[in-house]
Amino acid sequence: MMTDARTSGSLLAMSGLRSGYGGKPVLQGVELTVEQGTIAAVIGRNGVGKSTLMKTLIGLLPAMDGAVTFEGRDISGLKPHQRAHLGIGYVPQGREVFPRMTVEENLKVGEMIHGAKKPADYDRVYDFFPILRERRKQRAGTMSGGQQQQLAIGRVLVGSPSLILLDEPSEGIQPSIVQEIARIVVELNRSMGITIVFVEQNLEMIRAMARHCYVMDKGRIVTEVAPEQLNDRETVRRYLAV
C-alpha cells in the first residue's frame, strides 16, 4: 500500500482540460478527479473523445488549455516518457505492440515505467497471461488480435505502474479472458493499490471493475453514474444511445 497521505488524496486531477488535433479541440474542458486507489471507468459514444482524453493524460497529445495534476504535481508540461517515469502506464486502443519484436522484448520495453526503478516482474505477467509465456519468442506482429491485447496489458504491468490508463481493454478478447482481466485488475488494485482509469464499452466489465463511472459527451465529462445503474437499460440508453 501507498502512504496514508496519498491514499486519501486525489491521485490524478484534470481541470479545464482541452486538447485536440490540428488546432481543433476535441476535449472541451474536462473536469475530473480520480482518487488514489480507485478504479474509474469512462464511457461514451464513438468519437466523443475518450481516447483523446487518454492520450492527453499520458502526454501523447499536448493539452491546449487546462491542467493535469498527478500526485499533486502539475504534469501538463511533461513529455510522455517523463510521465511514464512517474509511474503512469498506458494501454492504447488498438494494441500498438512492437510488431517486429518478440513478445519478450515487447515486455522489456515496459520496464521503463517508473524509470526502471522498480524490479520488473515477468513471472506475474506470465502467470496472468500464460499464452505470453508460451509464445515468448514469437514476433508480436504475428500474434492474434486478442493475444496482442493481452501483450499490451502485460507490457505495462511489467513496470508496476501506480496508475494505469486502459483504453478499451476488452476489445477483441474472448469472454473468459475478459473476466480474467477484470479479476486481475481488481486484484492489482486491491493488493497493490494501483489506481486504474479505463475506457470501456463492455458494460459487464465496467460493472465488474469500476467503482466510479463517468459519462463523456462532446469532449466533456457530463455526469457520473453508479456502475450498478448500468444494469438499467434506460440509463444506458440515455447516455450511450446514438
Partner 1 sequence: MEILSALFAFLYQAGDAFAFLVLAACGLAIIFGMMGVINLAHGEFIMCGAYVTVFAVRAGLPLPLGIACGTLAAGLVGILLELLVVRHLYNRPLDTIVATWGISLIATQGVLILLGSTMRGVGTPLSSFTFGDYSYSQYRLVLMAAAVVVLVLLYLIFNKTRFGVHARATIQVPHMAEALGVNTRLIYCLTFGLGSALAGLTGGLYAPTMTMVPSMGATFIMEAFVTVVVGGADVFLGTAPAAAVLGVIKAAMTSWQGQLAGQISMLIAVIIVIRVLPNGISGWLLRERG
Partner 2 sequence: MTALLQTIDLNKRFGGLRVTNNVNFELDEGEVHCLIGPNGAGKSTLFRLFLGEHSPSSGRILYAGEDITHLKPFQRIRKGISVKFQVPGIFAALSVRQNLTIALQHHLEGASLDEEIARLLEFLRLTASADMQAASLSHGQKQWLEIGMAISLKPRLLLLDEPTAGMSPDETYETGEMVRALNADGVTVLAVEHDMAFVRQIAQRVTVLHFGQIFAQGTVAEITANDAVAEIYFGHVDHDD
Ligand X SMILES: Nc1ncnc2c1ncn2[C@@H]1O[C@H](COP(=O)(O)OP(=O)(O)OP(=O)(O)O)[C@@H](O)[C@H]1O
Task: Choose, by CB under 8 A, the member of 12, 26, 113, 181 that binds partner 1.
Answer: 113
Answer for the pair 17, 29: CB distance below 8 angstroms, yes or no: yes
Establish if 58 lies at the interface with partner 1 (CB under 8 A).
Answer: yes
- Give the Cα-Cα-Cα angle 66, 94, 92 (nearest 5 degrees): 35
Size of the site for ligand X (CB under 6 A): 18
Q: 153: Cβ–Cβ under 8 A, 6 or more apart, which residues?
A: 91, 129, 166, 169, 181
DSSP class per residue in 92-128: -TT----TTSBHHHHHHHHTTGGGG-SPP-HHHHHHH
Site for ligand X in 82-101 (CB under 6 A): 93
Establish if 177 lies at the interface with partner 2 (CB under 8 A).
Answer: yes
Question: For the window 93-112, what string marks contact with Mg ion as x by the rule CB under 5 A?
Answer: x-------------------
Residue 105's CB is within 10 A of a number of other CB atoms, namely 14
Question: For the window 130-169, what string marks contact with ligand X as x by the rule CB under 6 A?
Answer: ------------xxxxxx----------------------
Q: Cα(208)–Cα(96) distance, rounded to whole angstroms?
A: 26
Stretch that binds Mg ion, among 3-11, 68-76, 104-112, 140-148 (CB under 5 A): 140-148
Cell digits of residue 145: 488480435
Size of the site for Mg ion (CB under 5 A): 4
Task: Choose, by CB under 8 A, the member of 20, 44, 110, 169 that binds partner 1.
Answer: 110
φ, ψ of residue 194 to 5 degrees: the values are -70, 130
- Binds 179: which of ligand X, partner 2, partner 1, none (CB < 5-8 Å by kind): partner 2
Alpha-helix residue ranges (DSSP H) falling in the chain = 4-8, 50-58, 80-85, 103-110, 122-128, 130-134, 145-157, 175-192, 203-209, 233-240
Site for partner 1 in 76-105 (CB under 8 A): 79-81, 84-85, 89-90, 92, 96-101, 105
Establish if 62 lies at the interface with ligand X (CB under 6 A).
Answer: no
* Residue among 139 and 183 whose Cβ is closer to partner 1: 139
194: which DSSP letter? Answer: -
Question: For the window 17-56, what string marks contact with Mg ion as x by the rule CB under 5 A?
Answer: ----------------------------------x-----
* Residue among 62 and 145 whose Cβ is closer to Mg ion: 145
* Integer angstrom CA distances of residue 106 from 58, 111, 169, 226, 238: 19, 10, 17, 36, 40
Binding site for partner 1 (CB under 8 A): 58-60, 79-81, 84-85, 89-90, 92, 96-101, 105-106, 108-116, 138-139, 142, 155-156, 159
